[in-house]
Amino acid sequence: MRALPLLAVAALAGAGCGSSETSEVFETNSVKMVRGNEFDPRAISVKAGSTVTWTNEDGVPHNAVAKDGDGPKSELFGKGKTYSWKAATPGTIEYVCTIHPGMDGTIEVGPGG
């Protein structure tokens, strides 16, 4: 009978594990800028030709700027404001908020549909 409680403890411990950094990629065209200087979700997947929209839900200004090459290049914008960018070419785009170190995200652009 002792195995059952141990399994329950193991399941509960596993459920609480994890970190704020995730490698999970979400299929969505919407990214929120949230408290704690984070993009939510941090990694997204879209098809070429899709428009990605960032919405600032935080009380401080943010932007979304590609680290290299083609990608989003927004100005700073405040709470309740949005920025949209069209994903034209398949590939991986890493982007950041240029005024908040560690606030970064990734867009996986797949072939158009």
Give burial (CB, 10 Å; 0-12/13-18/19+) of 104.
middle
All domains of the chain in start order, with CATH: 20-110 (2.60.40.420)
pLDDT at 112: 83
pLDDT in tens, 21-65: 456 889 999 999 999 999 999 999 999 999 999 999 999 999 999
Task: Kindly report the pTM of this predicted structure.
Answer: 0.79
Task: Report the DSSP beta bridge partners of residue 44.
Answer: 26, 107
Residue 1 known to bind ligand: no
Residue 33 known to bind ligand: no
Residue 17 known to bind ligand: no
In this structure, the strands spanning 30-34 and 82-86 are unpaired
* Phi, psi at 75, each rounded to 5°: -80, 170
CB 10 within 8 A of CB 2: no
